[in-house]
Amino acid sequence: MVDIIFILTPILLGYIFGSIAEKNHYKSIQEREKKFMRLPTISLKTPLNPDNITRSRLVVGNVVISVDYFKRVLAGLKNIFGGNVTSYETLVDRARREAILRLKEDAKGASEIINLKLETSSINKSAKGTIGSIEIFAYGTAIYRK
Amino acid sequence: MAYIPKLPDDTVNVTNSNFIEEMLKLVVGVSLLISVAFLVVTLSTSLIVENMSLKTEQKLQALFSSSLEIDTNSSNKEVLYLQSIVDNLNSCAKLPYDITVSISNHKEPNAFAMMGGAIVITKGMLKEIQNENELTFVLGHEMGHFKHRDHLKGLGNGIIFAMISLFVPNSFVENILSLNALSYSQSQESSADIFGIEMMLCRYQDTLGSASLFERMSKNDKWSDFLATHPDFYTRVLEIKKYIKSNNLPATKESRELRYSFE
């Protein structure tokens, strides 16, 4: 009985706090995406409009999000049967969108951001007994006009 | 080229799935898999183990005894005392190999029959034992597990547990599994109890002390750990008493005192 409580508690806590954090995060992401919607952010190497450019600058956005126990156990069970690890999809999605938003916040006053690139890495990947987290790093070139 | 502002589509990169439902499905699937594997392996190992020759059993024991890491302090008088009881009992039990006793420092009262012919008894257990009769019963009980090849049958379960811990790389899950892997089934415990009684009869021509230890245990809260691996004490006490009564076994002699008080 004690064993079961030992296993279930972190999973339950992970589910409760993980879902609350995810819900709040998505709310904040959607609000800020609306705010930055009109700032063109593209992966082209050249600006959409080459006129009137005064300067350009490297802008970066970086985020680390931790996996919760519930998601990890769910993904661990998926290892046995295979298939999409849906529990990690929201995690990666949140991290990617948050990183791009931070990059946009970094590019204050820019008229567009070009050459957007994303890098990803996982922290604690090999450490046994630790719970993993995902890092997404977004970088691009901000273009400023008169 | 015109830039058309658009909010990201929330449904493209994230599957809209119910995690709880998915979790339940996976847990049911895994438990089904485990129980099927468990059944197949336990049934086949017990079939193999029961039909194994004495020679093969000896070979298996020898294989494990060399890899066993037990702190056998042979100069320790307490260990020597336990060893002498076991050696005497083996003339009754007639096991085809030698049994080594060792004491573990654990405070939880427990005793184990392990591969390689090793009996491990915890300090906590020794503290609870009040006379030599009770000690003989406990050691006889563990020898019963060897006699019935319960430890070999347990190997099958060990394989399953090892497999589970491969899939679930979680340290505390592993700990729990290895703890439970040491447990025997209720019927195995009961037949080991009866073997313990037979050992006492052979050694002392008396059965006094066979039920007294368990009777104290079933009333004591401290035994919860022991209960986890040795289930249903109360039933076992009843079964021991029933066996003694139905076979008209003597329980009249005075109990022998312990040669050492294990403090």
Cα-based distances in Å from B207 to B3, B83, B197, B259: 94, 21, 6, 19
Do the Cβ atoms of A128 and B17 come within 8 Å?
no
Query: Any idea what the Cα angle at residue B249 is, between residues B248 and B254, rounded to 5°?
Result: 135
Locate the chain A residue with the closest alpha carbon to B26.
Answer: A77
Structure-token match 């082209």, residue found: A44
User: A112, A48 in Cβ contact below 8 A?
Assistant: yes
What does pLDDT average to over chain A?
A: 89
Q: What pLDDT score was predicted for residue B101? A: 87
Instruction: Report how far residue B194's alpha carbon sits from residue B244's, in angstroms, rounded to the nearest whole number.
Output: 9
Question: A2-145, what's its fold?
Answer: Translation Initiation Factor IF3 (3.30.110)
- Chain A residue nearest residue B179, CA to CA: A3
- Contact at 8 Å (CB) between B171 and B215? no
Percentage, residues of chain B above pLDDT 90: 6
d(CA A98, CA B221): 54
Q: pLDDT tens, A66-120?
A: 888 899 888 888 888 888 888 899 999 999 999 999 999 999 999 999 999 999 9
Cβ pair B139, B213 in contact under 8 A: no
Look at residue A29 and tell me whether its pLDDT is greater than 90: yes
**How far does A6 lie from chain B, in Å, by closest CA?**
8
pLDDT of B155 > 80? The answer is no
| pLDDT: which is higher, B254 or A35 | A35
* Residues in a beta bridge with A138: A61, A118
Distance CA B24, CA B95 (A): 48
Taking an 8 Å cut-off on Cβ atoms, the answer to whether A77 and B170 are in contact is: no
> Across residues B8-15, what is the average pLDDT?
87
A78 inside 8 A of chain B by CB: yes
C-beta neighbour count of A95 within 10 angstroms:
23
Q: Express each pLDDT in B184-225 by its tens digit.
A: 777 888 889 999 999 888 888 888 888 888 888 776 655 555
C-beta atoms of B26 and A129 within 8 A: no
Residue ranges per structural domain of chain B: 25-246
User: How close does chain A come to B46, measured CA to CA in Å?
Assistant: 27
The pLDDT score that the predictor gives to residue B172 is 47
Lowest mean per-residue pLDDT among A39-53, B30-44, B156-170: B156-170
Q: Which is more confidently placed, A127 or B31?
A: B31
Q: Which residues in chain A are closer than 8 Å to B174, comparing Cβ atoms?
A: none
Q: What are the residue ranges spanned by the domains of chain A?
A: 2-145
User: CA nearest A99: which of A27, A40, A33, A24?
Assistant: A33
Residue A93: name the closest of B20, B43, B10, B254 by CA: B10
**Residue type for A90, please?**
T
pLDDT at A33: 95
More confident residue, B102 or A34: A34
Mutation for A interface: B7, B18, B23, B161, most A CBs within 10 A: B23
* Chain A interface, best mutation among B21, B24, B161, B168, by max A CB count within 10 A: B168
Mean pLDDT of chain B: 78
Write the burial class of residue A64 (CB in 10 Å: 0-12 exposed, 13-18 middle, 19+ buried). middle
- Report residue A126 CA to chain centroid gap: 21
Tokens of B31: 């438990």
Model confidence pLDDT, tens digit, residues B86-145: 998 888 888 888 888 888 887 778 888 877 778 888 888 888 888 888 999 999 999 998
Predicted confidence (pLDDT) at residue A17 exceeds the cutoff of 60: yes
List, for residues B39-95, the tens digit of each pLDDT value. 888 788 878 877 877 777 777 767 766 544 555 555 678 888 888 899 988 888 888
The CA angle B227-B233-B234, to the nearest 5 degrees, is 140
User: What mean pLDDT comes out for the span B29-37?
Assistant: 85
Across the interface, whether the CB atoms of A78 and B26 are under 8 A apart is answered yes
What pLDDT, on the 0 to 100 scale, is given for residue A126? 57
H or E element that contains B102? strand B100-104
Read off the pLDDT band of A128 (50, 70, 90): low
